[in-house]
């Protein structure tokens, strides 16, 4: 796990970004390929929006790059790793769960489907998981590439 932290700190240093990297074991942040609790590295500091990017794209790319570099350095498989910036993913997860529940209530009462805005795979997964046991509705991903979104559909 030190390799991941060192890799991340080196990248931030080369970018000229002053921030600290904190390891948080066992957090329940979403990750596309996570089957168990991922190792979470939270980057903390001021003015770090540049690391998040539009719709979290820069953060997703940073996470991918760090995983590739770290896997190369340890010459083996890497446990699931999530990189976050000032708790952005944790906050976004909560916002998405609340959005999913509000929209599900609307869909259930109106009987009409609703399609959310396009979002990355890990955010779509949050919506699907939040509504998996919600009675009277089902979810499905529609679209292609960066335009992929979640539709919330009444089952009746």
Q: Which of 27, 32, 35 is nearest to 63 (CA)?
A: 32
What pLDDT is attached to residue 38? 80
Q: 82 and 6 in one domain?
A: yes
**pLDDT tens digits, one per residue of 20-56:** 999 986 555 554 444 567 888 999 999 899 999 987 8
CA distance 1 to 94: 27
The answer to the question of residue 136 being in a domain is: yes
**pLDDT tens digits, one per residue of 60-82:** 999 999 988 888 888 777 778 89
Q: 114 and 55 in one domain?
A: no
Q: 103 and 70 in one domain?
A: no
The answer to the question of residue 50 being in a domain is: yes
The answer to the question of residue 123 being in a domain is: yes
CA distance 55 to 149: 13
CA distance 60 to 119: 12
Task: Give the range of the structural domain holding residue 32, as residue numbers without chain letter.
Answer: 2-86
Q: 73 and 18 in one domain?
A: yes
Q: Which of 109, 142, 141 is nearest to 101 (CA)?
A: 109
Q: 65 and 130 in one domain?
A: no
Question: What sign has the CA pseudo-torsion 77, 80, 86, 88?
Answer: positive
CA distance 156 to 147: 27
Whether residue 149 is predicted with pLDDT greater than 60 in this model: the reply is: yes
What pLDDT is attached to residue 33? 47
- How many independent structural domains does the chain possess? 2
Q: 108 and 72 in one domain?
A: no
Instruction: Let me know: does 149 contact 116? Beta carbons within 8 Å.
Output: yes
The answer to the question of residue 91 being in a domain is: no
**pLDDT tens digits, one per residue of 94-148:** 999 999 999 999 999 999 999 999 998 889 999 999 999 999 999 999 999 889 9
Phi, psi of 115 (to 5 degrees): -110, 125
């Amino acid at each position: 796990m030190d390799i991941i932290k060192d890799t991340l700190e080196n990248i931030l240093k080369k970018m000229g970004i002053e921030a600290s990297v904190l390891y948080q074991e066992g957090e329940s942040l979403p990750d596309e390929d996570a089957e168990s609790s991922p190792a979470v590295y939270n980057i903390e500091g001021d003015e770090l929006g540049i690391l998040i990017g539009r719709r979290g794209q820069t953060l997703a790319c940073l996470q991918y790059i760090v995983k590739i570099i770290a896997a190369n350095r340890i010459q083996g498989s890497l446990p699931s790793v999530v990189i976050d910036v000032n708790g952005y993913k944790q906050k976004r997860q909560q916002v998405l769960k609340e959005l999913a529940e509000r929209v599900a209530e609307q869909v259930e009462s109106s009987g009409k489907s609703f399609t959310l805005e396009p979002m990355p795979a890990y955010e779509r997964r949050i919506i699907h998981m939040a509504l998996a046991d919600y009675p009277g509705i089902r979810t499905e991903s529609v679209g292609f590439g960066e335009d992929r979104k979640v539709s919330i559909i009444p089952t009746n």
